[in-house]
C-alpha cells in the first residue's frame, strides 16, 4: 500500500471516528452535571439517570432504523438528515423547563446521534473486509474512543464557567460541525446497485436472517452484554466518585476520562496484533479479563476499599471492552457484506438497549454504595462469556 493510500485511509478513519464520538459525547459530556441537574429541577438521582436511559434507548432504537435506511438510501443522505435533527434536539435539551421534557428530548437526541455510530461502521464494511477491516476498525475506534476520554473533561470545563445548559449548547455546535463534514467531506460508499429494496417487510426479513445466524448472534451478544456493563459504570460512577469518595467534578472527569485511555489501549492492541493473534483469541482474552476485573470491583465495593482500589480494576474492565468490541465486530460483520447497515445496527442496538435496562439499577440501593455496580458488571461479564461459548463455540464449525 502506498504512502498516499495510507494517508487516505487514515483521514477516512479519522473522519468516521468523529461520527463515532457523537455517541460518547452525547452520553458522557453531561455526566459531571448530574448533581447540578438534580438540584436545578428539584428531582431525584434516579430521574436524572432516567435521562441517560432515554438517551441510550434513542441510540439503540435509532440504530435499527438508521441502519436499515442506510442500506436502502445509501449512507450519506440519512446521515445528513440525522445531524440536522441532532442540532435541534440538543438545543431543545438545553432549554428544557423540567426533567420530563429533558428526558423526552434526550431520547430524540440519542436517536439522531445513532446515525453517526451505525453508518460510520457500515461505511467501514463497505470498504474493507477480513484483517483489513479489523485494522481499519481499530483506527476508527482510536478516534471514537477519545469520546469517553474527552467528553467528561470537556463537560467539566464548561461547567466551570456556565451551567449544564452550556453543555447541551456545546453539543449542538458539535452537531453543526458534523453536519458540515457530512455535506462537504463524506463521499457515498454504497452505490445504487448494491442497495436493498425499499420495503419494510424486506427490512424485517433482513433482521430475521441475521438473528437466525447463530454465530452472528453469539458475537452480537458477547459484545453487547459487555458494553451494557460499561453503561452501568457510566451511570454509577458520577455518584460513586463524587458522593461516596468526595471527588470534585474535575477529579471525576479525570478519573472517568482515564478509562478512555484504557479503551484505546484495548482496541489498538487488537488492531496492531491482528495479523499475529486471531480475533477469536483476543475476544476470549477480553472476556476473561472482564470477569476477573469485575470480581475485584465487587470485593472492593463490599469492603468499601479506597478509591484507587476501585479505579484500577475498573480501568482493566474498560480495557477489556476495547478488546472485545474490536475483536467481535469484524468477526460478526465478515459475512454480512450485503446487509452491512442492518448488521451494524443490530451490533449497535443491543448494547444500548441492555444499557438502558441496567443503568438505573446502579442507583437502586441509593447513592451511597457501589455494590450494585460491582454486581451488575460481574453479571454482564459472565453472561457475555456464556453467550460466546454457547452460541459461537457450539455452532457448526465453532470458532475459527
pLDDT in tens, 300-324: 999 999 999 999 999 999 999 889 9
Separation between Cα atoms, residue 246 and residue 261, nearest integer Å: 23
Separation between Cα atoms, residue 355 and residue 282, nearest integer Å: 23
pLDDT at 288: 95
> DSSP assignment, residue 394?
T
> What mean pLDDT comes out for the span 350-376?
77
Separation between Cα atoms, residue 338 and residue 196, nearest integer Å: 8
Separation between Cα atoms, residue 299 and residue 294, nearest integer Å: 9
pLDDT at 398: 56
**Model pTM above 0.75:** no
Which of these, 174, 143, 144, 146, lies nearest to 158 by C-alpha position?
174
Residue 362 contacts by C-beta under 8 Å, 6 or more apart in sequence?
49, 232, 235, 236, 372, 373, 376
pLDDT of 104 > 80? The answer is yes
> What mean pLDDT comes out for the span 78-85?
94
> What mean pLDDT comes out for the span 278-283?
89
Separation between Cα atoms, residue 386 and residue 389, nearest integer Å: 5
Higher-confidence residue of 279 and 234: namely: 279
Model confidence at 296, pLDDT cuts 50, 70, 90, reads: very high
pLDDT at 198: 66
Average pLDDT, the chain: 84
pLDDT of 297 > 90? The answer is yes
The three grid cell numbers given for residue 5, joined into one nine-digit string = 493510500
Separation between Cα atoms, residue 298 and residue 302, nearest integer Å: 6
Model confidence at 103, pLDDT cuts 50, 70, 90, reads: very high
Instruction: State residue 370 phi and psi, 5-degree precision.
Output: -105, 5
Where do the domains of the chain lie, and which CATH numbers do they carry?
7-184+200-393 (1.20.1250.20)
The three grid cell numbers given for residue 400, joined into one nine-digit string = 475459527
Separation between Cα atoms, residue 106 and residue 34, nearest integer Å: 14
pLDDT at 287: 96
Which of these, 337, 26, 366, lies nearest to 175 by C-alpha position?
26
pLDDT at 382: 95
Separation between Cα atoms, residue 241 and residue 310, nearest integer Å: 10
The three grid cell numbers given for residue 142, joined into one nine-digit string = 482510536
Task: Tell me how far the alpha carbon of residue 34 is from its chain's centroid.
Answer: 20
pLDDT of 368 > 80? The answer is no
pLDDT of 278 > 90? The answer is no
Higher-confidence residue of 26 and 205: namely: 26
Amino acid at each position: 500500500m502506498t504512502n498516499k493510500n495510507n494517508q487516505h485511509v487514515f483521514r477516512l478513519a479519522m473522519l468516521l471516528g468523529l461520527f463515532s464520538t457523537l455517541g460518547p459525547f452525547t452520553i458522557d459530556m453531561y455526566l459531571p452535571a448530574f448533581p447540578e441537574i438534580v438540584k436545578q429541577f428539584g428531582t431525584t438521582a434516579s430521574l436524572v439517570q432516567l435521562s441517560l436511559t432515554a438517551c441510550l434507548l434513542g441510540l439503540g432504537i435509532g440504530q435499527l432504523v438508521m441502519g436499515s435506511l442506510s442500506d436502502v438510501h445509501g449512507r450519506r443522505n440519512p446521515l445528513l438528515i440525522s445531524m440536522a435533527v441532532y442540532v435541534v434536539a440538543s438545543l431543545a435539551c438545553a432549554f428544557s423547563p423540567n426533567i420530563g421534557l429533558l428526558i423526552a428530548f434526550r431520547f430524540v437526541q440519542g436517536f439522531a446521534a445513532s446515525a453517526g455510530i451505525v453508518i460510520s461502521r457500515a461505511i467501514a464494511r463497505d470498504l474493507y473486509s477480513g484483517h483489513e477491516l479489523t485494522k481499519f476498525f481499530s483506527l476508527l475506534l482510536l478516534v471514537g474512543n477519545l469520546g469517553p476520554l474527552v467528553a467528561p473533561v470537556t463537560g467539566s470545563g464548561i461547567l466551570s464557567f456556565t451551567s449544564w445548559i452550556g453543555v447541551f449548547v456545546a453539543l449542538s455546535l458539535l452537531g453543526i460541525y458534523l453536519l458540515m463534514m457530512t455535506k462537504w467531506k463524506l463521499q457515498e460508499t454504497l452505490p445504487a446497485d448494491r442497495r436493498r429494496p425499499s420495503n419494510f417487510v424486506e427490512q424485517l426479513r433482513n433482521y430475521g436472517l441475521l438473528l437466525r445466524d447463530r454465530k452472528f448472534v453469539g458475537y452480537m451478544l458477547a459484545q453487547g452484554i459487555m458494553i451494557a456493563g460499561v453503561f452501568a459504570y457510566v451511570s454509577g460512577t458520577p455518584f460513586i466518585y463524587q458522593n461516596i469518595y468526595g471527588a470534585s467534578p474535575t477529579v471525576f472527569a479525570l478519573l472517568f476520562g482515564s478509562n478512555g485511555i484504557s479503551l484505546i489501549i484495548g482496541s489498538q492492541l487488537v488492531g496492531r496484533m491482528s495479523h499475529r493473534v486471531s480475533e477469536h483469541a483476543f475476544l476470549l482474552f477480553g472476556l476473561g479479563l472482564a470477569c476477573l476485573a469485575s470480581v475485584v470491583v465487587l470485593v472492593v465495593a463490599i469492603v468499601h476499599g479506597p478509591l484507587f482500589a476501585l479505579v484500577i480494576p475498573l480501568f482493566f474492565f474498560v480495557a477489556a471492552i476495547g478488546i472485545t468490541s474490536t475483536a467481535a465486530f469484524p468477526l460478526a460483520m465478515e459475512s454480512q457484506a450485503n446487509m452491512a447497515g442492518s448488521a451494524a445496527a443490530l451490533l449497535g442496538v443491543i448494547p444500548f438497549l441492555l444499557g438502558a435496562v441496567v443503568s438505573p439499577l446502579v442507583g437502586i440501593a441509593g447513592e451511597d454504595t457501589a455494590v450494585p455496580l460491582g454486581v451488575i458488571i460481574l453479571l454482564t461479564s459472565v453472561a457475555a462469556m456464556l453467550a460466546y461459548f454457547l452460541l459461537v463455540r457450539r455452532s457448526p464449525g465453532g470458532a475459527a
